[in-house]
Each structure stands twice: as structure tokens, then as C-alpha cells.
Amino acid sequence: MARSLNTPHSSKPPVSKASAPPKPRHVPTEGAQMAAAAALSRVDQQPKLRPPSSQQAIRNQVKRELLAEAAAVVDLKQDGSSEAQPSGSKVPLRRTSRPLSVSGVYFTCPLTGATLTKGEPEAHIKEAILMKFAEDPVEASVMMVHTFNKDREKVKAATEVIAKYIDNICKNPTEEKYRKIRLQNKIFQERVSCLEGTQEFLQSIGFVNQRLPVPGQEDCEDVLVLSEEAVSRLQALQESRDRLLGAEPLKARLHRQSQVYKPSPQASRFELPPDFYSLTAEELKREQQLRSDAVERNAMLRTKAMRERDEQREMRKYNYTLLRIRLPDGNLLQGTFFARERVSVLYEFVRDSLLNGWQPFLLIAPGSQRLTDESLAFNECGLVPAALLTLSWDAAVQADIEAAGAQNADVLKPELMRSIQTLS
């Protein structure tokens, strides 16, 4: 975090000490001389303090940091928050009166378009999927299979078995045995019925529950049977099969919270909410213990590769990052991103915000780092949990635009500029 240094200035020239008349020196009294001698004697009798060694200095520094982090955890718990700032943060989360750079992390439901806080998406999306059954039961059940079940390998196995059922029916539409699924079948129980949404999908494409006699026995069993109407619509069955195999889990989209600010000397200062950090209070305690155990290791000489590995581990503590881009006109464009998103996402975000999105540009990170490799993640570039970048136009293209007199004073789209604010 940037720190502003205020150096006092005076409008009056300094007065030379040599020009001032010397003051008469007062000789100390006998009593003052005796008191000074006694004080010197006491000082001489005190044990001399040894200067701390490098390891002692490291221990003292770690102790101070751990105490500060522990105090932060207590403050956040008292404030009702379940998350705390991780150790080693480059952007300290401090309890100050300054407003937050962003109020929190928000998501958008792809079904309803609702804006959700960090803990709301999963429950909201499940409810939205269930509500969609009245509109499109096939699509709703497909989303249910892929979204409600977290084990992707089990989902893959279940959908492949169901696809095989449909393939057999389409290849042999007159064969009655392919139109029946025994609920007690071992493969069906182990791979299909154990997952949420699978039976809803089978029912949505035309399977109905029936209790039929077991061949050669007096007992009956529960069976899913494809209706005659569904058999007559084989093309629809195949389309439902393709939808099931090609679907992905439904996820809430991270809300970018795009915001434009006027030029400000505070551009590199950030105040982030707890939502930006992935460590809970308990995880922070474990992290503190790990740091304490690493004191001796930190005292040793370490290679560049070792330091880089530690830095990468540090970056993984953050789930999100707040990025600001200083534009050529001085204005600031701000957005929220996942820490593991690629640099290409940032380029797309900026390009979509520009009035002339076709004009080539380069983004420059702190330390004059040119972001040319768009496949890197933000946490791999050191751009978490917050960073200020600079947009630089392609010099040759910009020169041609200026020579043609086609330079536009505005850089961003009008809809963004209408909501421009002053950075506090």
C-alpha cells in the first residue's frame, strides 16, 4: 500500500546560528555535579545489552507480526466477520475510517440475473433450477444433474449410462427390453440413481414408474418404462441425450463491479473487505503456526527459486483481486476478478470498456512489468489481492490516429463515463 510522506516546508529562510550572539555558559553547582556523578555510576553498574543477532531480529519481527495478526482476528470476530486477513498481505486490511475500495464480492445468477453476495449463489441457483421445471423439465433436470452433484467423475459415469439407454432405444425402437430400466439393477443403483437429478431427467424424457411382474417369478419389481409417445419421438430423445452429455455445471458469474474514477493521487491505495481473502480465522491460526515454525528456515540463505515458491504459496491465499487501470486521460477503470483468472480476461474487460475497442494497447503492471503473456494468471503475475496498472497505446497506431486528426478526447464508453466518481 502506498504511503504518503509529508515533508514540512517553511517560507522563511533559515537563520544562521553563527549570527546569533552566544549565550553565557552557566557553571553547574556543586550539588548538580554530585547528582550527575551518581547517575553515571548507576549507568556503569547496569549490564550492557548485546545487540540482537540476525536470528533474534527475525524472531522479534515474526513475534510482532503474529501479535498484530492475532489482534486482527479478534477485531474481525468482534465485528461479526468469519474471515480474517492472511499473513503477509501486501494490502493490509485495517480497521480505518477510510471507505472500502469495493463493498464486497458479488455474483450474478445466470438464470435470474439476480445480484448475490458471496455466500448466496449455491442456494439461489438450486432454487432457480427447481423453479425452471415448470418451464422446461428436460433442461432443468440436465442442470440439476450437472450442478447438484459435485463429483464430476460420477456425473460423467451416470450420464454415459443414461446415454447408452437412449442409444439402445434409438437403435432398436421396437425392442421392448431396451425400453425398460429395472430400478434394482446394480449398475443403475451404483452409477445412476445415487445422483441427484438422474431420475428427474429420465422422467422428463418419457420414462414412467411401473410395477411389473418378474419373469419366471411370482414377485413384482419397480421398473422405469419409456412411454409409447416418447418412442415415437426418437429425434427428441437424441437431442435430450446430447444436452445431457454436453452440459456443464451452472455457476454464478463474478460481478465485475465496473467503476470509473477521476484521476487521483490515491489510485494505488486500496482498502479491501474480508471477502477478498480465502483464509478463515482458523486457517489463519494454522498459518501463524507455520510461520513461527519457519523462523529458523528464514534465517538461512535462500535461493531465488525458494523465494519464488514461497511467493506463489503466498499468492494462493487470495481468491479475488481488485484491479485498477490508469488510462491515457488519467481516469481509472476498476474491476473485480478471480485471482486465478488469466490476463487475457483483463484485456477483454478493458477492450469491452474502451470507446475504440479495436485500438491495440498494452497493460503495464507495477515495476514496469509488461503483461504480454495473456495465458498467465493474476496470482502468477503478483497482481493479487490488488494492483494498479497502466494502459499504453500502441505507439505506431496512435501516431497514425493523431496524424489523421481522428483522436477522440474520450477513452471509455459514454455509459461508463456517466457514472464516474471521485476516489476517496
Tell me: the pLDDT tens digits for 312-355? 555 557 889 999 999 999 999 999 999 999 999 999 999 999 99
CB 267 within 8 A of CB 118: no
Q: Which residue has the cell 442442470?
A: 143
Q: Which residue has the cell 513475534?
A: 63
Amino acid at 270: F
State how far the Cα of 165 lies from the Cα of 158, in Å rounded to an integer: 11
> Angle at CA 117, nearest 5°, toward 116 and 120?
75
- Using DSSP's 3-state secondary structure scheme, residue 280 falls into strand
CB 196 within 8 A of CB 149: yes
> Angle at CA 121, nearest 5°, toward 345 and 128?
115
- The backbone torsions φ and ψ at residue 46, rounded to the nearest 5 degrees and listed phi first, read -75, 145
Report which of residues 46 and 239 the model is more confident about: 239
pLDDT in tens, 399-420: 998 888 877 788 999 999 999 9
pLDDT in tens, 130-149: 999 999 999 999 999 999 99
Report which of residues 389 and 39 the model is more confident about: 389
User: For 33-47, 105-119, 159-173, 263-277, which range has the lowest pLDDT when averaged over its residues?
Assistant: 33-47
Q: How far is CA 392 from the centre of its chain?
A: 26
| CA distances to 42, 204, 235, 394 from 137, in Å | 90, 6, 17, 51
Residue closest to 336 by CA, chosen among 280, 287, 385, 274: 385
Q: What mean pLDDT comes out for the span 367-376?
A: 95
CB 333 within 8 A of CB 350: yes
State how far the Cα of 33 lies from the Cα of 14, in Å rounded to an integer: 36
- The backbone torsions φ and ψ at residue 357, rounded to the nearest 5 degrees and listed phi first, read -65, -15
Percent of the chain whose pLDDT exceeds 70: 68
Q: What mean pLDDT comes out for the span 201-230?
A: 90
Angle between helices 152-171 and 234-246 (to 10 degrees): 160
> Can you say whether residue 263 is alpha, beta or left, with left for phi > 0 and alpha for psi between -120 and 50 degrees?
beta
- Strands 259-261 and 332-338 turn out to be antiparallel
> Angle at CA 165, nearest 5°, toward 135 and 180?
90
Tell me the residue ranges of DSSP E strands in 83-219: 106-108, 115-117, 180-182, 207-213
State how far the Cα of 160 lies from the Cα of 151, in Å rounded to an integer: 15
Q: Which residue has the cell 414377485?
A: 219
